[in-house]
Structure 1
């Protein structure tokens, strides 16, 4: 069962202990978790551009979150590829030269959040990358990027990332997963690419170090949505947002079948496990490690509570354990992966998988965020900051405060699909116990 925080608990002051001596602040000063109301606290933002009264914001810091590895009260939050608008099966990019980035934030003792700095991603030569799709052979999803005029086709970016998962290492470097390839990229402390891991068959610069080939069959725009590192910093653990289209969307038997992949940083060895979603086509939006085998994950739908019966909206955080799950890796690392009676895993039912001896990860509900807070008005719960052994901060992806209108126009994003006079959606930090 989940454990919700009462308002009294939220308003209590919780001492964390002394800060690491690596912190910029005085190490002799205790950091205390400040008072945060159920309504949360907004992250700061700037405006990238304003057109026809619509603000495109920077903003966007909510695709993932992770604790600063040494400084208590500080966290990192990740943007994705930048503001993008549906245009048929393609995308319009209102700010096409936007560089995906990490924001370094601090939760101050007065309950406000400040941005300490930004880390922009660059390629191995130190040139800033974009969020535009990859070219064919390098992890392309089939999407074509257009300028706002809906005519000009934007060039693809070999190093482009739709960044979604984030790990901060003690040496100052970062690992980031994405939705294109999907790729997992190692960046140095300044955001410069060190290594790029891609599924076997996708061109990259990691030599023989590859992700499983089957991940290339990801549902476009629902790739590796979350990334974690085990506490011993030996193993990356990524979670796919949704069911793979393996071998195609039309042949998927059950849209609750999703995959988790582990990558041994030293050896490059991988393993794969299955996770069963609560509802078909849900989104696994985040993963964070509690131990080498236990993790917190976000599983959510895409609904707003202002548009839907609140009891039907799902913004859940689960505790999962992979220790007794079956490794479903394919020994030959083929594009379609391990087969069950001649079918791919995604062509199989859970009954068929069970009969074949395949055990998914175990899961228990840790937090129902709507029940814990009384409401959670955002559609995209995507980031978890692990604060201590039983406290987390959660952050939403605000889509840079824009979304798609009926004519593929750029319109302001509010916390409802139907209203245009409510608060603009913004990255907001909430704190709960689990």
Structure 2
């Protein structure tokens, strides 16, 4: 009798597990997309509504539950001012939003996770001090007063959700890769050699990223072993003036078990006018990456996704990861070298083919196309950074960020698109 009861009990558990697996892998109703995220008002400045948005700087799928996603903000609403930026809401904390597509096909927020320092205190989007990942930017308040710095501040741009419930986030300051607990508490901060955070390191050359053009995209390989990050634009290697190959940017990989890094070259289409933004994995070697410019879709904006493959590309780390200018060709940094010189040296960039042009395919209107998640079966989830609904008026003040085609304030929106 005990054996029969035990068998029945085990069968009930197995059936329950199977039911859970089925519910987690059922078809998701994406027919109501595109759809805006739900937002409240964060502040009103100079008569301009700053929305509690910004979700879409980076995006990732829940690692086990189909139809659930995480999107992340950047450092918060800001505009250009003098030799830096105005942080319009200095107390803003970079935040992760966990949401799902519910049974009705609507976006349903599950929870918000604010990022915190190792002591569990909320961080800000203020720049890091010198030695901790500073970009040289000065942060000002909305009134023009000089603000301080934050040792743990982050200009977060991408997010990865791991199977253990933790998150990996990359940013544009250090650039840093930061490991957060499920509750958003910092566990580890990985920065270039020479930046005074953590013990595991990225190549020193990455610290020469342009201000506000750091590690814009990051994903994890499907085997869970490696992070893959994209630098947004040509770095200032060896200096801003001498970095003349404006179509060259870098991809870096980080082995989570060993800490080993590799670097690969990526050839952009549009040079410094374009940005390489988010990246999402198809396999352990094949990925999708965003290339975009800063214009709205209806104003001739470039919003494209490319398939890339690392398997035949050259590792351009060189023999010394601590070298501040990285590998050199004939005494010149890679960013100083032409593509002909790079080819003659036997170095190959990653291969790339167009997967989708969002403006041609969808009439995509948003300017900051910054988040993608590969869903399988050649379907892609697409997200935008709405900049909290504000733009720069050219005089260091905010104005409403308006989509020229619709005349509406820009808001974070999720799309689904088929790719080649």
TM-score for the superposition, normalised by structure 1: 0.89
Aligned counterparts of 1:394 and 1:47: Cα–Cα separation in 2: 24
Asked whether the equivalents of residues 174 and 187 of structure 1 are also in contact (C-alpha less than 8 Å), the reply is yes
- Give 1:321-400 correspondences, 5 Å limit: 321-333=309-321, 334-373=323-362, 375-400=363-388
Asked whether the equivalents of residues 28 and 66 of structure 2 are also in contact (C-alpha less than 8 Å), the reply is no
Give deviations 1:49-94, integer Å, cap 9, x for gaps: 1133311112100101111111111110010000011002301111
- Give 1:86-101 correspondences, 5 Å limit: 86-101=80-95
Asked whether the equivalents of residues 263 and 316 of structure 2 are also in contact (C-alpha less than 8 Å), the reply is yes
- Give 1:17-166 correspondences, 5 Å limit: 27=23, 30-36=26-32, 40-150=34-144, 152-166=145-159
Aligned counterparts of 2:302 and 2:296: Cα–Cα separation in 1: 9
Aligned counterparts of 2:400 and 2:24: Cα–Cα separation in 1: 45
Gaps spanning 5+ residues in structure 2: where?
Answer: 1-14
Aligned counterparts of 1:160 and 1:402: Cα–Cα separation in 2: 21
Q: Find the counterpart in structure 1 of residue 5 from structure 2.
A: none
What displacement does 1:330 show? 2.7
Aligned counterparts of 2:388 and 2:243: Cα–Cα separation in 1: 32
Gaps spanning 5+ residues in structure 1: where?
Answer: 1-17
Q: Find the counterpart in structure 2 of residue 284 from structure 1.
A: 276
How many residues are matched? 403
Asked whether the equivalents of residues 227 and 286 of structure 1 are also in contact (C-alpha less than 8 Å), the reply is yes
The RMSD of aligned alpha carbons is 2.0
The structure with the greater share of residues assigned to helix is 2
Distance 1:120 1:339, change over 3 A: same
Asked whether the equivalents of residues 31 and 109 of structure 1 are also in contact (C-alpha less than 8 Å), the reply is no
Aligned counterparts of 1:278 and 1:332: Cα–Cα separation in 2: 29
Asked whether the equivalents of residues 94 and 124 of structure 2 are also in contact (C-alpha less than 8 Å), the reply is yes
Distance 1:392 1:19, change over 3 A: farther
Aligned counterparts of 1:275 and 1:28: Cα–Cα separation in 2: 36
Distance 1:21 1:251, change over 3 A: farther
SS of aligned partner of 1:372: helix
Asked whether the equivalents of residues 28 and 101 of structure 2 are also in contact (C-alpha less than 8 Å), the reply is no
Q: Find the counterpart in structure 2 of residue 425 from structure 1.
A: 410
What displacement does 1:36 show? 3.2
What displacement does 1:35 show? 1.1
Q: Find the counterpart in structure 2 of residue 10 from structure 1.
A: none
Give deviations 1:336-371, integer Å, cap 9, x for gaps: 000110000001000000001110000011111112
SS of aligned partner of 1:250: coil
What displacement does 1:20 show? 8.4
Give deviations 1:184-209, integer Å, cap 9, x for gaps: 0000100000100000000002x1x1
Would you identify which runs of 4 or more consecutive aligned residues in structure 1 move more than 4 Å? 18-23
TM-score for the superposition, normalised by structure 2: 0.92
Q: 1:187 aligns with which of 161, 164, 180?
A: 180
Aligned counterparts of 2:258 and 2:267: Cα–Cα separation in 1: 28
Q: Find the counterpart in structure 2 of residue 296 from structure 1.
A: 288
Of the two, which has the highest radius of gyration?
Answer: 2
Aligned counterparts of 2:19 and 2:166: Cα–Cα separation in 1: 15
Asked whether the equivalents of residues 41 and 111 of structure 1 are also in contact (C-alpha less than 8 Å), the reply is no
User: Is 1:320 paired with 2:313?
Assistant: no
- Give 1:402-417 correspondences, 5 Å limit: 402-416=390-404
Asked whether the equivalents of residues 24 and 65 of structure 2 are also in contact (C-alpha less than 8 Å), the reply is no
Give deviations 1:117-136, integer Å, cap 9, x for gaps: 01111111111110000000
What displacement does 1:250 show? 1.1
More deviation in 407-416 or 262-271?
Answer: 407-416
